[in-house]
Each structure stands twice: as structure tokens, then as C-alpha cells.
Structure 1
Amino acid sequence: MIALALPAAADEGGFVPPTLEDMHLPEILPWGAEYGTGFGKQMLLILLSVALISWFFVAASRRRQLVPGKLQFLGEMSYNFVRNSVGKDIIGERDYKPFVPLLFALFFFILVNNLFGSIPLLQLPTPSHVGTAYALAGIVYITWIVLGIKKHGIAYFKLAVVPSGVPKAILPLVVLIEIISTFLVRPVTHSLRLFATMLAGHLIIMLAAAGSEFLLMDGAALIKPLGVLTLAGGVGMFMFEVLIQVLQAYVFTLLTAIYIQGSLAEEH
């Protein structure tokens, strides 16, 4: 009933809710139209994020001083956060160092691309395109499997799906569950958690903004105060969305460290 009412409202000059087409703009340089591919705003922002991250950390490390300036201090603090709070604490002091570059790159790449959704004019978190989330999770998926094989050989697959101390009577069921959860469900949830939160959060902000504009500009006099409430709620949701954008970058990187640690562990 709601789906039928929305087009009717649009035809009568009523409220038109934002859609995914409003969020995912047409491609700048389209190609392969039948497959929906092309160079669009999302790809442009990804390239911009790489340029911004590279510029910031090169600039922060250019003048290395014993007493750091503001830029150097911010760069060192950012690096140490990923190095110590994620890499060292999760993977362990003995094994964490080779994986700091990967964790560092993932965290800041996701963080900047998430925050693009809260910057005026840009206003698009690139992981809201599921392909970005799949690509990142796929890199992590291949990484921890290769690390497990490199560490334990082919026996890694047994270590990954056969928990110690499980009674033989239920072992086949447990192994089946472990295979599904580890090698099938894990990469899917790793990617979709990032994608779904970025897509849903941005759509909520768009809906609050569109609703506020409609109530304040086109609504009847009696319902205009609702536009003020909607606008206030939208500002609150915007601040909450910024928090979620930062949190999701941390969660994705934290899970990556957990998966790497699991691949290197001697026993599961």
C-alpha cells in the first residue's frame, strides 16, 4: 500500500522520497552501459581519497623533528593508533609488524571514503557501492587464507575447521558449521557490514533532508513545525552517521587483524 501511495503522491505534487538513483549519480565517463559500468563519482572519490591520504602522510613525515609539529604529531598519533591498538594488541607482539602496512592502509582508506558521505558537495560514502566493500573484503579473505597456508601448509584447512576438544559424535556437524561460517559466511558479513551501514545511514540522512525541505517549504502552515523537528532530528542523525563512519573503519580493520591472528594461531 505504501509503495502504491508514493507514486500517487509524486504525481499530485506531494513528497517524493529519495531513491538509490539520487544517491548513485550517473557515470561521468560511461562505458559498457548494459553492465552498468563506467567511471563515475564513486571512482573519482576513491582516487581522491588515495591522493589525500598519500599527501597527508607524506607531508606529516617530511620534516621529522624530535619535538613534532601539529601535522607530524597527528600523523604519528594516527599511525600509532593502528599499529598498537589494532595490530600489536590483536595479532600479538611477535607477529604484528609485517601486517601494519595492510591494517594502516585499510583503516585510513575506509575512514576517508566513509567520511566523504558527510562532506558537502561530495556527499557519497564510496563503500555504499557494494563493489568497494566486496573488493576490500576479498583482499582480506585471500590474505588470511594465504597466510594460513604459508604458516601451516595444507594442514591449515584442518586447523581452521576442526576445533580441539570436540566430541567425535558431533564432530562432523561442527566441521560443517565451521566450513560454512569460516570460508563462506565470514567474507560476506565482512563486506556487507560495511556496505549496509554506509548505504542505510546515507539514505536516512537524505530522507531527513528531503523531508525537512518539503515540510518547511511546501507543507501546510500547521505542519511546518514538524519540519523544524525533522531538521533537528536530521542534524542528530548526521552526527551519529559521522560516528558510525569512523566506527565502521575501525571494525573492518579490527576484524582483519582478528582473521590474520586466527590464521597464524597454532590451534583453534
Structure 2
Amino acid sequence: MPSIFAESGGFEPPKIDDFFPAALLFKGTPFELNRIMLIRLLVVVLLVLWLWLGTRRMKVIPGRGQVLTEFLLGFVRKNIAIDTLGERDGKRFMPVIMTMFFLVLGMNITSIIPGLQMAGTAVIGLPIVLALIAWVLFIYAGFRKLGWTYLKNALFLPGVPWFLYFLLTPLEILSTFIVRPITLTLRLLMNMVSGHLLLTLVFSATQFFLFTLLASGNLFGLIGVGTVAFGIVYLAFEIFIAALQAYVFAFLTAIYIQLAVAEEH
């Protein structure tokens, strides 16, 4: 196979450079925009436009657009915010949780849109900002409801012999205040990075086999039929992953808030 690649001009695999595109606007200024930043801005504009159009004229007998909007908003409201935090806290923190869900979903789904083909969450900047917001939010929620008792509940497990606190308290600090934002960031980032690389690999291979090898009369190019089939299946899987990661991010944020406001752990 390497000889086939060499004879046909070689096969170009996806590269990590995809995640560091060149500046397109305002190069060399603090407002420099590259392809990924433009995708992020586009998603924000489209989300605002969708929510404005979808909620400005709500009808008793809804149309299809209103039904879809109500279903999505209701799903996040009930299944993430209310079911996890209860009616009172769920309503209080719902705006942030809902914003996180739809922002992550919108940024993720751009990975499969022709012409964009890159998730806005596939570069660490946005995932880490969202994770830090979640981190600040659950710490704020804990202090707001319990005051300094929040730290006592978080760091000193009840019913444990005092000498074990020397071991358990540092572990609680690590798991609660350091590991949580790191795992939120990396879980979202790595899923979208790997998804982009695999999609790029599949369709780069398809182009190579069908339009380079097969077009030149090499029957090895028929392998491209298989890569096309796999690519279609993986596109559907990538949509599922995009939605799942949005759900997981918002759900874990709600869980962390719920743990912070609990009277005892």
C-alpha cells in the first residue's frame, strides 16, 4: 500500500494544524479572528436569532417551529435543571444551564456542517471558559446557601475519624475544586478533537481512493466505497456525540451545583 500512495502522489492525513488556522480578519490586533473564532461568532448569532424568532410570538396552537423550540427548551428545563436541582434551585440556575447546553450543542454541531467542518469547542479556549463558569457557579451556589458551612461539608466528610482528614481532605480539595473543571474541559475538548480528526481522515481517504486511485484506473480505489459508507455512519454518530456532550456538560454542571447546595454529603 505505501507504494500505491507514492505512485499516486501520496495521501494527506489530517493534521493538528487544522486547530490553529491562520488569521482571516484584523490580523495582528487584539481582535484577530480566525476560522474557528468566526464559527463561534456565527453560532452565537444564530442561537440568539433562533431564540428571538422562536419565542417572540408564542401561540396557543403552536406551529412546527414553536413545537421544536418548546420541546428543546422543555427538555433542558425538566430533564436537567428541575429534575436535578428541584423546582426552586432549578429555576434559579436554569438560564446559565440552558445557555451552556445550547451553546455547547451549537458549537459541537458545526463539526459536520459543510464549509465549517470544525467544532467551535475543538480548541481549548471555549471549553475551559465554560468549565470555569461552571466552577465559579457551583462554588457561588454553595457559599450563597450555606456560607462557610459549604467548605466544611465539601472538605470534611461526616462520621470519619479525625486523623483520616489528613488524607481525605486533600483528596476532596483535589477532586472538588481542581479535577472537576479539568475533566469538564478535557471531556468536551477531546471528544470534539477526535471527532474532527476521524471525519477528516475518512473523507480525505475517500477523496484519495475515489478521485485519485480509481480515477487513474487503480482498482484499489474501490476501497473508497467503504470509506464513504463508514463516513455516513460516523456522521450520524458525530451528531449523537455532539448532543450527548452538550447534555453531559449541562447535566454535570447541575449535579455540581446540587452537591454544593446539599446540607450534608
- Return the TM-score normalized by structure 2: 0.91
Counterpart for residue 44 of structure 1: 38
What letter is aligned with 2:140?
Answer: V
Structure 2 unaligned regions, length at least 5: none
CA RMSD of aligned residues (A): 2.1
In structure 2, relative to structure 1, the CA distance for the partners of 1:20 and 1:182 (3 Å cut) is same
Query: What's 2:73 paired with?
Result: 79
CA positional deviation for 1:10: 7.6
Mapped to 2, the partners of 1:175 and 1:10 lie a distance apart of: 59
Q: How many Å apart are 1:165 and its aligned residue?
A: 2.5
1:132-143 equivalences in 2 (<5 Å): 132-143=126-137
- 2:211 is aligned with 1:214: no
1:176 and 2:176 equivalent?
Answer: no
In the alignment, what sits opposite 2:223?
226
* Corresponding pairs, count: 259
- Name 2:89's counterpart in structure 1: 95
The match for 1:29 is 25
2:237 equivalent to 1:240: yes
Instruction: After the TM superposition, list the runs of 4 or more consecutive aligned residues in structure 1 that deviate by more than 3 angstroms.
Output: 9-12, 30-33
Unaligned runs of 5+ in 1: none
- Tell which deviates more after alignment, 151-160 or 174-183: 151-160
Residue of structure 1 in register with 2:15 after alignment:
19
Separation in 1 of the partners of 2:48 and 2:40?
12
1:163-187 superposed Cα distances (whole Å, 9 cap, x missing partner): 2223334332121111111111110
On the 8 A contact 2:8/2:212 being kept in 1, the answer is no
Q: 1:260 aligns with which of 243, 257, 262?
A: 257
* 1:197 aligned residue (188, 191, 209): 191
CA apart distance, 1:94:
3.2
**What letter is aligned with 1:233?**
F
- State the AA in 2 paired with 1:253: A
TM-score (norm 1): 0.90
| Cα contact 1:161–1:178 (8 A) shared by 2 | yes
Show CA shifts across 1:195-253 (max 9, x none). Answer: 11001101100001111111222237231121211221122111111110010000000
Q: Assess if the C-alpha contact under 8 Å between 1:30 and 1:40 holds in 2.
A: no
Instruction: Report the CA distance between 1:122 and its aligned residue.
Output: 1.4
Q: Compared with structure 1, are the counterparts of its residues 219 and 23 closer, same or farther at alpha carbon in structure 2 (3 Å cutoff)?
A: farther
Supply the distance in 1 between the matched residues of 2:84 and 2:154 (Cα, whole angstroms): 18
Q: CA deviation at 1:31?
A: 4.3
